[in-house]
Amino acid sequence: MPESKSRKKPAAPSPAVAPREDAPNPPWFVPTFLGLLVLGLVWVVTTYLTSGAWPIPPLGSWNLAVGFGFILVGFGMTMRWR
């Protein structure tokens, strides 16, 4: 069985790149995402306990979507937390 040809010279190492240091989050970041998570949780629990009659009665069951929206935005913010 024929042998494969080996490389004639080793591959050149890539230039060393200094790791980028991320700037810290602003001071309002953590309270904002925690507030959104808690607000979303309270919104969903309130909607379940009042059968959609509160916090915004015309929305009905869509109040759940609003609560989960707050939770998703808060969770999305946790992905950027440094």
- Of residues 34 and 82, the one with the higher pLDDT is 34
Out of 1-10, 19-28, 50-59, the most confident range is 50-59
CB neighbours of 52 closer than 8 A, spacing ≥ 6?
Answer: 59, 60, 61, 63, 64
The reported pTM is: 0.73
33 has a pLDDT exceeding 80? yes
Taking the CB of residue 10, how many other CB atoms lie within 10 A of it?
6
14 has a pLDDT exceeding 80? no
- Nearest Cα neighbor of 80 from 44, 43, 28, 39 is 28
Is 78 within 8 Å of 33 (Cβ atoms)?
yes
Q: What is the pLDDT of residues 38-52, one digit of tens each?
A: 999 999 999 999 998
Mean residue pLDDT of the chain comes to: 88
pLDDT (0 to 100) of residue 47: 95
